[in-house]
């Protein structure tokens, strides 16, 4: 079986300037699981900053949107402390010594401190038992100072991930992975207590850019439990007509080309080419992938699922990688933690 090689089409150097952006409304508005393809609530428009590139697409600056959200959270956390003397608390559970997981946990703790949320952490060695982990989560479930619990994934193979995630109290499931939260998300006239952070962040970018979702055709590339599936459910809840492209989809480029909104969470560098995109579509790139780059000090650089250089000439708006959905994920984790504390204490 021949291996198809997709040439690198992402450009690390794009000339851009920041514009004062009060909302994008295209005329025709027109995560992380690796996928192998067989074929080559608010609609209020807020003030954003986007980059106007030499290409046609508006590049949605997730960093500035995330900062705006963090500023809003900081104000609410401060008001909560002053009014009822309660500080939201987030517990993070880490197993093993994976460098990437340690980095993610460290960044989450810094983000908590920046907005005034108290962070708690529990670290376990790689060979810890499942029972030790469950006991720790049970203690956090019972701790009134802890309003949200996050178990850093992936877990070692000898630990049953499903059992561990299910043990987190639904009222503290700020990652949104509990089956009852996902079940409520899938049902009409039901509201989940929490929505998974990355797809929630992608939707928040659409909302804050004033991009209409109702009645639009949307395609989600990838069907992971963490991003793809909940992203499709969120789009459906807002009355988009949704298709999911996955590893068994025939002619994925033809399916994707019908979409007014594309959310790609395939974990495949430069998968989505220009020929996959309908002119004027809005593209949200969730993928974070590494490609070799001898000119980089690290020997590699980060790219998304989307071939930026090609798609930016066709789409009306898209998110960059890095600097798009990534910053929104942590912002949504902070938002979910604040919501948990406010719900627990009936604070408005």
Which entry of 61, 175, 305, 339 is annotated as an active-site residue? 175
Which entry of 58, 76, 108, 278 is annotated as an active-site residue? 108
- Catalytic annotation on 175? yes
Strands (E), the chain: 16-21, 48-53, 58-60, 89-95, 118-124, 148-151, 217-221, 241-245, 261-264, 282-285, 289-292, 300-303, 317-318
Which entry of 152, 216, 305, 339 is annotated as an active-site residue? 152
DSSP code per residue over 235-246: HHHTT-EEEEE-
With residue 65 as reference, give the H or E element that holds it: helix 62-84
| Cis upstream peptide for 61 (omega within 30°) | no
Assess contact for 35 and 221: CB atoms under 8 A. yes
- Strand order from edge to edge, sheet including 48-53: 16-21, 48-53, 58-60, 317-318, 282-285, 261-264, 217-221, 241-245
- Catalytic annotation on 33? no
Interatomic CA distance for residues 287 and 264, integer angstroms: 7
Q: CB neighbours of 27 closer than 8 A, spacing ≥ 6?
A: 280, 316
What distance lies between CA 166 and its chain's CA centroid? 21
- Catalytic annotation on 58? no
Q: Which residues are catalytic?
A: 108, 152, 175
């Amino acid at each position: 079986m021949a291996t198809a090689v997709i040439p690198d089409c992402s450009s690390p150097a794009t000339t851009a300037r920041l514009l004062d952006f009060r909302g994008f409304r295209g005329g025709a508005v027109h995560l992380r699981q690796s996928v192998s393809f067989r074929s080559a609530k608010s609609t209020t428009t807020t003030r954003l900053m986007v980059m106007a590139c030499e290409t046609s697409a508006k590049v949605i600056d997730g960093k500035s949107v995330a900062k705006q959200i963090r500023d809003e959270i900081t104000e609410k956390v401060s008001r909560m402390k002053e009014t009822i003397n309660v500080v939201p608390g987030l517990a993070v559970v880490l197993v093993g010594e994976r460098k990437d997981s340690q980095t993610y946990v460290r960044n989450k703790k810094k983000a908590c401190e920046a907005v005034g949320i108290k962070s708690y952490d529990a670290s376990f060695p790689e060979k810890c038992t499942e029972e030790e982990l469950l006991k720790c989560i049970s203690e956090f479930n019972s701790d009134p100072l802890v309003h949200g619990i996050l178990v850093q994934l992936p877990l070692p193979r000898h630990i049953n991930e499903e059992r561990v995630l299910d043990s987190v109290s639904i009222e503290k499931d700020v990652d949104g992975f509990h089956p009852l939260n996902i079940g409520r998300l899938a049902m009409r006239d039901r509201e989940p207590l929490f929505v998974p952070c990355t797809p929630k962040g992608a939707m928040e970018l659409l909302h804050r850019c004033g991009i209409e979702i109702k009645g639009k055709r949307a395609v989600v590339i990838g069907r992971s439990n963490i991003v793809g599936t909940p992203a499709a459910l969120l789009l459906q809840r807002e009355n988009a007509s949704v298709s999911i492209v996955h590893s068994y989809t025939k002619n994925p480029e033809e399916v994707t080309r019908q979409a007014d909104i594309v959310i790609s969470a395939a974990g495949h560098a430069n998968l989505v080419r220009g020929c996959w995109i309908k002119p004027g579509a809005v593209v949200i790139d969730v993928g974070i992938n590494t490609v070799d780059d001898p000119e980089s000090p690290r020997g590699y650089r980060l790219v998304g699922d989307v071939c930026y250089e090609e798609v930016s000439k066709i789409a009306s708006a898209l998110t960059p990688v890095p600097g798009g959905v990534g910053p929104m994920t942590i912002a949504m984790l902070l938002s979910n933690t604040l919501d948990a504390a406010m719900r627990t204490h009936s604070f408005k």
